Chain A
């Protein structure tokens, strides 16, 4: 069972789901993330029943799209956050969600191990940085990402060290582009 908050362990869980359709791994993932996804949707305005239904869909999507997870660009928590956010826009705001064009990809693309490890470490640092913030600021960030602040209110909250994680991702993107150019 993954230790709370250890990003790399969740990647193993996703790989077990992807390669072995491992239901035990899925149940572990579900017990950790489904309640959080439900809370996220309730704070965005869904009632308990709708939030549970959405959490169900989000977790099923994780199962189906396990092969699309890219550990050089996101932690498992981040990936689930983006799926839950898109579900929220779809169900609660009833609007389309234009997504950026995907980078060229193919089955031959194997994520670079060093990039993946670096990103997971940065994700954990980020989590620790958020946890150590004064309560008021932490609550503000929670509100911003749980959709409880408007676009203009959101401008005010910053102060997180995003520089290192951003350059990690930038590096991974460059390597990916480079690999594509060669193939």
Chain B
């Protein structure tokens, strides 16, 4: 799989620092699940975090704190036995949803609870905390999303199929970063329905009168 559109360095850095809203963490983790390029970039950013921690001035920790920690590790070793690699292999691989998305959907792609939002487009809002919103979108083959712009940044990652807009073509794994000023009409390829994960910092603004009426139903 060749990915042509990647995360930006400052998104990866912010994910590493742990300062993004949950919905943005989700799309970053989803892209990195499929992209070794950005996975390596994240490891590099984490390495800076490690180097900073290593050299930071510490705050004195009491002996009582060490004693409590020792009690903690002895107690749980007695309960659980010695260290093993306790990670469970990820649930059976899903051709559409990488592991972080499966956690939010509660299963594989057939577990997604789609709701129609008009013009054949369906969506499923994912529960996340914080200022940004995450949802899965399903655009019928050959169909278009209503023309819209964004109040904040919008990140879209393709999971299945592909779409094109004025800026290019996006296929599985690709991530599009649309800024405030971008007006666009993504159109799905004719071959198959396009499923993507979209994260918005602020509400979308639609151009036509009909989509504007539909906005409350979209919940965005």
Contacts and interface: CB of A to CB of B under 8 A. Distances in A.
A78 B58 contact: no
A162 B41 CA distance: 8
A89 B49 CA distance: 15
B47 A123 contact: yes
B23 to A, nearest CB: 9
B164 interface: no
Contact of A55 (B61, B83, B128): B61
B1 interface: no
Interface string A116-151: 000000110011001100000000011011110111
Interface in B128-182: 128-130
A81 B49 contact: yes
Nearest to B41: A166
B69 interface: yes
B85 A67 contact: yes
Interface stretch (B25-33, B187-195, B207-215): B25-33
Interface residues on A, range: 35 or more
Nearest to B77: A21
B13 A144 contact: yes
Interface residues of B, number: 70
Contacts of A77: 50-51, 53-54
B100 A149 contact: no
A50 interface: no
Interface string A72-83: 011111111110
Contacts of B28: 98
Nearest to B201: A151
From A65, A81, A105, A177, name the one whose CB has the most chain B CB atoms within 10 angstroms.
Answer: A81
A105 B141 CA distance: 36
Interface of B: 9-10, 13-14, 16-22, 25-26, 28-30, 32-33, 36-37, 39-62, 65-66, 68-70, 72-73, 76-77, 80, 82-87, 89-90, 98-100, 103-104, 128-130
27 contacts: A30-B69, A34-B66, A34-B69, A35-B58, A35-B60, A52-B62, A55-B65, A66-B83, A67-B85, A78-B50, A81-B50, A84-B53, A97-B25, A98-B25, A98-B28, A98-B100, A98-B103, A105-B87, A123-B51, A146-B52, A147-B18, A149-B17, A151-B10, A162-B44, A162-B47, A166-B43, A169-B39
